[in-house]
Amino acid sequence: MQLSCFGSLVLSLVTWATSLPAQGDDAAAVRVALDRWTRAFLAGKIDVTDPRPLDKDAPPRVPPHLVAHSPQRLNELQVLEILLRAASEQSGTAAAEQVLRLAAVGLERKSAELAGAVIVRSAAEEALDDCATTEVHAFLLDTARRPSKTQDDTALRVAAVRALGGSGQAVFWPMLTSLLGDSNSQVRAAAARAASDLGNSRSIAQIAQALRQEREPALIQAIALSLRDLLEIAERDGQLDPLLYRDAIRAVVSALDNTTEWRVRADLVRFFERHRAPEAVPALIEVLAQTRAERKTSGDEASGARILQAEAHRTLKALTGGVLAANQVDLWRDLWATSKGTFKVVPRRRDALPENATVAGGFFGIPVLGQRVVFVIDRSGSMISPAPQPNDTVTGETGTPTRLDIACRECWNAVKGMGADTYFNVVVFSDGAQAWKPELVPATTANKGALRNFLARLLANGSTNLWDGLSSAMQMRTAVGKSDYREAVDEIFLLSDGHPSSGEVMDSEGIKMRIAEQNRHTGIRLNTVFIGSRPSELDRLAQPGGGPLLQALAAQNNGTFVER
C-alpha cells in the first residue's frame, strides 16, 4: 500500500528529526536547521527566488513541530521564513547571532552574487526586528562596535548597524552617529543609513558634520542621501529647525568641493533641486564654471562634465528663474552679485494637485515632475473590464471604456503635456513585459504621435507579471547629448488592477524589498495607480488585493498613490 503525499512528508520529517544531533529541545533543533539552511544557501545550493515547492523526496529542512499542521509542500523561501520566525521567538543571543549571519548575506563579496541575496538579507533583518529584546540589542551594539579584522567581520558589523537603525529605537542614535567617524568606510555608510532610518531629526547636525569631513566619493553620496531623507522626514513632521536646515545646505555645498567624481557631484546638485536655499546658487554657478573648462578635455571626463553641467544649469534655473545659458558664467555671477541681498528662491513645483484639478498634463491627477519618465501599464486580461468614468468618449466592448482604455488615455494626456526637454518611455506587462522603445526618447511631436499609435493597438490578455514590468522600467536609461552615458529614470508611473499572479517575484513583500534595495541610491519617484476599485467577473483573474501593494510602493518611494 502506497503512502499519501502527506504520509510521505510526515515520514520524511520523522526520519530527519531522528538524524539531528541530540540537542535536547526544540530551540536547539531550530538552530541546527537554520545553520544547515544557511550553509546550503552560502554554498549556492538554494535559490529562494524559485517559487516551486521542494521535491517531495528532498530531505526536509524544517523541524517537524513547526510544520505539524501543514500538509502542503514548502518552497525554499517559505522554509526560510518559518525558520527565521522560530528563531526570532527564542529572543536570545544564540538565535540572534544566527539570524545576523543571514542579515549579512550579500554585504561581502563572496555572497553578493548569490541568487536571492537581497531577499534573504531583508527577511533576516525583519526577523531581527521581531526578536528585539534588551539582550539582543546589547548583542547588536557589541557587534557594531567590535573592530573588523576580516571582510566577514565587517559584513556582520554592517548588518548589526542596519538592524539597530531598523529597530525604531531613538536611544541608539548617539551610538549610530558616533560610528560616522569609524575607520571602516562600509560601517560609516551603514551608520549614515541607519541614522536616517531611525528618522530622528536630532541626527541632522551629526550627519551634516560627517558629510563635511568625508572624502570618499561613495561615502559622500551615501551620507548626502541620508541627510536628504532626514530633512524630508523633519519637514513632513513639522520639526525642521531652520538653523539645522541651513547648516545641512552648507554641508552639501562643502561636499561639492570635496570630490571631483562627477556622478557624486551630480547627485549633490540634484539635492538642491529638492532642498532649496540661496547658498546653493553661487555653488551651482561655480560648478558651471568648472564644467565649462572640463568640457574642453576628451573622453569620459568631458562626457561627465557635459552631464554635470546640464544638471547644474537645470537646477540653477529652477532655483532662480533665470534664463541665461549654461556657458554664460560671468553673467550668472553678475546676476548673483546684484541680487544676493534680496534673493529668494523660486518655490518648488507642487507635489500634488488640488482635488478639483483636471487630469490634463498629469496621470490620473498626479503631476509629471520628472525629466526622465516611464509609464508602466498593466494589460492583463482583467484590464478589459469596464471602468466607466464621467464624460468618456472611448468605449470598450461593453459600450463603456475599459480599464485599459482609460489607462491609455491618461498616458497619452500625460505625454502630450510633456516639454521637449523631457524624455519618456512606456512599458506594458501581462505574462511578461514589453517596452515600447529600447530606451527613453525625447518628448518630440513625432515620438508623441508614434506613442499614440502604439497605445491604440494595445489589447488586454494574460496574467499580471507586475515585477517584470516594474523592474524593466527601473533599469531603463536614456542617452544624454552625444555622449555614451545613459542617464537613469527619475520618475515612474505604475498602473495595475490586481495583485501579481505570475513572474519571478509574486509576493508583495518580495517586490517591496527588492524595489527598496534597488531604489535606495537611485531615488526614483514611484507613483502608483490602482484601477481595480470597480469589481468585475474578470477580477478573479487579477487576484484583487493589489491596491495595498501599490499604495505601499508609492509610500516607500516618495510617490503618490491614487485609487480609481
Can you tell me the mean pLDDT for 433-455? 89
- CB contact at 8 A, 119 and 76: no
Select from 332, 304, 307, 302 the least CA-distant residue to 319: 332
User: Model confidence over 60-78: pLDDT tens digits?
Assistant: 777 777 766 665 678 888 8
Half-sphere exposure for 46 (CA within 13 Å, toward CB): 25
Query: Phi/psi at 497 (nearest 5 deg)?
Result: -120, 10
CA–CA gap between residue 439 and residue 486 (Å, rounded)? 9
**Residue 358, number of CB atoms within 10 A of its CB:** 9
Half-sphere exposure for 111 (CA within 13 Å, toward CB): 27
Cell of 445: 511631436
Cell of 366: 498626479
User: Model confidence over 342-395: pLDDT tens digits?
Assistant: 888 887 654 443 333 333 357 887 888 788 899 999 998 888 887 644 444 444
State residue 479's pLDDT score: 57
State residue 486's pLDDT score: 59
Q: Which of 61-70, 229-238, 253-262, 364-373 has the lowest average pLDDT?
A: 61-70
- CB contact at 8 A, 374 and 489: yes
Count the helix, strand and coil residues of the chain and give each as a percent rounded to the nearest 5: 55, 10, 40
Helices within 417-499 (DSSP H only): 445-456, 466-474
State residue 57's pLDDT score: 66
Helix (H) or strand (E) holding 429: strand 423-429
- Give CA angle at 471 (470, 473), nearest 5°: 65
CA 497 vs. chain centroid, Å, equals 22
- Give CA angle at 443 (441, 445), nearest 5°: 120
- Whose cell is 470597480? That residue is 534
Can you tell me the mean pLDDT for 420-428? 90
Residue 171 has pLDDT above 60, yes or no: yes
State residue 469's pLDDT score: 92
**Residue 227, number of CB atoms within 10 A of its CB:** 26
Helix (H) or strand (E) holding 272: helix 262-274
Residue 332 has pLDDT above 50, yes or no: yes
User: Model confidence over 278-308: pLDDT tens digits?
Assistant: 999 999 999 999 888 766 555 445 667 877 8
- The CA-based diameter of the chain, rounded to the nearest angstrom, is 95
User: Model confidence over 479-502: pLDDT tens digits?
Assistant: 555 444 457 788 999 999 877 888
Q: What percent of the chain has pLDDT over 90?
A: 21
State residue 58's pLDDT score: 65
Query: Phi/psi at 562 (nearest 5 deg)?
Result: -130, 140
Is 529 strand, coil or helix? strand
Write down the pTM of the prediction.
Answer: 0.61
- Going by pLDDT thresholds of 50, 70 and 90, the confidence category of residue 16 is very low
Q: For residue 433, list its beta bridge partners.
A: 429
Is 279 strand, coil or helix? coil
Quickly count helices (H) and strands (E) in the chain: 23, 11
The residue ranges of DSSP E strands in 309-400, in sequence order, are 362-363, 366-367, 372-378
Is 433 strand, coil or helix? strand
Q: Could you tell me which residue, 477 or 87, shows the higher pLDDT?
A: 87
Q: For residue 527, list its beta bridge partners.
A: 493
Query: Phi/psi at 374 (nearest 5 deg)?
Result: -125, 135
Residue 357, CA distances (Å) to 14, 362, 365, 366 in order: 65, 10, 7, 10
User: Model confidence over 498-536: pLDDT tens digits?
Assistant: 778 887 888 788 888 888 877 766 778 899 998 864 444
State residue 27's pLDDT score: 83
Q: What DSSP string describes 165-184?
A: HTT--GGGHHHHHHGGG-S-
- CB contact at 8 A, 45 and 76: no
CA 455 vs. chain centroid, Å, equals 28
CA–CA gap between residue 226 and residue 189 (Å, rounded)? 9
Helix (H) or strand (E) holding 309: helix 300-320
- Going by pLDDT thresholds of 50, 70 and 90, the confidence category of residue 329 is very high
Helix (H) or strand (E) holding 263: helix 262-274
State residue 157's pLDDT score: 95
169: CB partners within 8 A, 6+ apart:
132, 137, 198
Cell of 74: 514548502
One-letter amino acid of 249: I
Q: Could you tell me which residue, 163 or 520, shows the higher pLDDT?
A: 163
Helix (H) or strand (E) holding 441: strand 441-442
User: Model confidence over 116-140: pLDDT tens digits?
Assistant: 787 788 788 888 887 778 899 999 9
C-alpha Rg value of the chain to the nearest Å: 26
